[in-house]
Structure 1
Amino acid sequence: MAVFWKTMAGGLLLALSLTLLLGAEGQGNGRGKKEVSGRATVYLGQDRDIWSPLVHTTVNLSEISSIKSSFQLRTFDPEGVIFYGDTKNGDDWFVLSLKDGIPLMQMSKEDTLVSVAGGLKLNDGKWHTLEVSNQEKFVILEVDGSNRLVLGMQSKQTEEVLSGELRLALGGVLMDKEKLFVQFEPQMDGCVREGNWLNLSLPWETEAEELWPCYQNVQPGSYFPGTGFAIFNTSVFPIESDDGVMAELLGDFSKMDGTILSIKAPGQDLMFALVANNNKEEVTLTFGKDTVSMKDNFKRLVITFKTDLLQVLQDEDESNTTTLSMRSESHPDYLTTWREGRLAVGGLLGEGEDNVGSQFLTGCLEKIRVQGRDLDLDLAVKHMSISSHSCAA
């Protein structure tokens, strides 16, 4: 084994960590922690601290005899942690993630940081097979049998025989995130399955009482289960012209129930709310003291705030346009509210330090766009039950 480790030094740590990730079969460890099969299908976006691993395990380096493995990944999310591994209690480590939909590998060994990113975007909602292998001082990530990403490292220090333990984690990291060479948002709304790893059989541990399932079929969008909402500061969407403020929402409104969108500034009355009522088969828009009800048989809603009017367009039909005048005192000053306020997706903004309201949304918003920008709910303050990038199809 000493010859084996010396020959595979440098890139081997990363390769072994990658190849071990999901191949274990669950078994008792006597420590009283909840265990899961390493071959299980796992939803990475489960509720927890955003940097904490969902599942993790530890293996003795002396037990490792293979350096090749594969697993499948499916996601619409462009960014997040897939898995992590380290030795020396975190002094040497690696992270495999996505950034802008592209695989990104980062590695630290003997105080040297290396990163590499490349290949096709993987956040298309399809299952992709990732295979990792080691060739001398190079780690090779192969996607769907062809696209390759290669990470190499050459150290001038004397190679050592690795011993001790290898820690592995899925969906999070075990070292200080500030050590990352390339920073990224950690939350990953995605699934992994069908690990094929080594000849080892080891259990994975989780602090979760129960692992959330992965849906058989998914579509792009943000799913709200009726337990929370996402909040943005409206100041991050500046008003850049006389066109005012525009919000665009896509989805099957007939399948939504609860508050879709609300806007409010601290210490002020609620400026705007959009609420779906599945029982009445209608969507109600409230702006100031005015209320407008619409049948919920549309798939697209464009709301435009201008200096003197509020315009609401259903689908692409210009005849289904609702206009409210802003010249009366019954309407709030939307410009002031927009500079100082909060925008909530999936809930009604209320008073208090937590801004907690009610009428949480149940349903799927296929797209949310404000001021021409697609909203990434991972950048909001949001309830962890919300799936930021996928809905059950």
Structure 2
Amino acid sequence: MAVLCKAVADGLLLSLSLALLGWGAEGQGNGRGLRQVSGGSTVYLSQDRDIWRPLIHTTVNLSEVSSIKSSFQLRTFDPEGVIFYGDTKDGEDWFVLSLKDGIPLMQMRKEDMLVSVAGGPKLNDGKWHTLEVSNKGQFVILDVDGSSGLVVGMQSKLMEEVISGKLRMALGGILINKDKMIVEFEPRMDGCVREGSWLNLNSPWEMEASELWPCHENIQPGSYFSGSGVAIFDTSVFTFDEDDGVRFELAGNFSHMDGTIFSIKAPGRELTVALVANNNTKEVTLTVGAQRISMSKTLQRLVLTFQPELLQVYQEEPKLTELDVTLLRNPGVWSTWREGRLAIGSLLGEGDDNVGSHFLTGCLKEIQVQGKDLDLDLAITLKSVSSHSCPA
């Protein structure tokens, strides 16, 4: 056991010292024409891109690394996602810091050793937290808001070796195959990083996007749709029983919404169900096939139970009451749930791959299927949506 602990410690310390403590601030670019930003910039991590690709990244010479301390602030309601990544030897040795169940998770590889360490307080409470990583003697310490969140003790001769070559760093993604991770996690992080102080390096960060999306000054839990976003699910992934049906629940301030809240459509068929908020008429309209029901935009919660021959609808205004369901007997609704698609934030179009139009603007504070919160990060298509936060 002592030999194993020492081997783990050797790899952990070297990975942490090289990767975790290696972010740059301002400096010269590498001439590739990519836009450069400061390491101290405020960065929204969930900007649209390939979900595993970094939002910004940089490369520095290891000989330039002289500091043993880095700090930054993180704010999120999201319990899971990648924060940053570092590697040497073109990805042979690597390090990843993420959240899993809201708790910091560090994964790394050094030579043939794979290490995973998790610990510290939950950070997905929507507050700004200051994270500081330092190397003190035989310990690597992750401090959270001035208190020790994760302490790893180690002793290794490897740290006496001359460090040379390149160090790559990335924010919001990784530069290796995701299959190399020891602990699987959903990479997309609806969160913000700011006020980074990354060693004494003078290297800029490069970004693939033309601009960085801003972070809202104040946030609240929910899912925010800016008027161009959509989350699409295959309805077949939801488990259900014909006797009980499928319970779909939405909550929020409907009076502040405009556009398609959700729609359901099966491949090759007409649109089956759609819920649309209209600022002009001050109404929320539920369409089931060719039938329509209008509701006041003062409603705060809507519960729909899909059954083989019936769609039951309840609205909360402010009490939860059942609507007149005599017009909602539509067997096509049930078959759609068995083989269709659910789009939240958009009206599905005629083509099966068309994400639709008439996008939603507003905040859904709660989205549930079968009594469980729906994680939009698991959608087959997620575009321009803040999956876990809304502007307050």
Q: Same fold (TM over 0.5)?
A: yes
CA contact (8 A) 2:284 2:296 kept: yes
* Residue of structure 2 aligned with 1:15, choices 13, 17, 20: 17
CA contact (8 A) 1:244 1:305 kept: yes
CA contact (8 A) 2:234 2:380 kept: no
- 1:5 paired residue number: none
Letter in 1 for 2:365: E
For the residue of structure 2 that corresponds to 1:226, the secondary structure is strand
CA contact (8 A) 2:14 2:158 kept: no
For the residue of structure 2 that corresponds to 1:78, the secondary structure is coil
Give the Å deviation of 1:66: 1.2
For the residue of structure 1 that corresponds to 2:358, the secondary structure is coil
Alignment of 1:123-272 (within 5 A): 123-136=124-137, 138-151=139-152, 160-240=161-241, 242-272=243-273
Q: In the alignment, is residue 334 of structure 1 matched against residue 336 of structure 2?
A: no
CA distance in 2, matches of 1:353, 1:266: 5
CA distance in 1, matches of 2:191, 2:319: 38
Letter in 2 for 1:391: C
44-53 or 157-166, which moves further after superposition?
157-166
For the residue of structure 1 that corresponds to 2:324, the secondary structure is strand
Q: In the alignment, is residue 358 of structure 1 matched against residue 360 of structure 2?
A: no
Alignment CA distance shift 1:207-1:228 (3 Å): same
Letter in 2 for 1:52: R
CA distance in 1, matches of 2:320, 2:205: 58
For the residue of structure 1 that corresponds to 2:168, the secondary structure is strand
CA distance in 2, matches of 1:220, 1:178: 31
Alignment CA distance shift 1:310-1:15 (3 Å): same
- 1:32 paired residue number: 33
For the residue of structure 2 that corresponds to 1:58, the secondary structure is strand
CA distance in 1, matches of 2:343, 2:66: 52
Letter in 1 for 2:164: S
25-34 or 150-159, which moves further after superposition?
150-159
CA contact (8 A) 2:141 2:150 kept: yes
Alignment CA distance shift 1:327-1:115 (3 Å): closer
- 1:347 paired residue number: 346
CA distance in 1, matches of 2:137, 2:359: 54
Give the Å deviation of 1:265: 1.3
Q: Pairwise CA RMSD of aligned residues?
A: 2.3
Letter in 2 for 1:341: G
Letter in 2 for 1:392: P
Alignment CA distance shift 1:49-1:294 (3 Å): same
CA distance in 2, matches of 1:271, 1:253: 22
- 2:385 paired residue number: 386
- 1:115 paired residue number: 116
CA contact (8 A) 1:264 1:342 kept: yes
- 1:284 paired residue number: 285
TM-score (norm 2): 0.91
- 1:303 paired residue number: 304
CA contact (8 A) 1:309 1:323 kept: no
CA contact (8 A) 2:284 2:297 kept: yes
CA distance in 1, matches of 2:312, 2:249: 12
Give the Å deviation of 1:346: 0.8
CA contact (8 A) 2:11 2:110 kept: no
CA offset digits 1:153-204 (Å, max 9, x no partner):
6779897422111111101111121111111111111000111232222211
CA offset digits 1:317-371 (Å, max 9, x no partner):
457431313785xx23333221111111111122324133221111111110011
CA contact (8 A) 2:11 2:109 kept: no
Instruction: Give ranges in structure 1 of 5+ residues lacking alignment.
Output: 1-7
CA distance in 1, matches of 2:158, 2:197: 34
TM-score (norm 1): 0.91
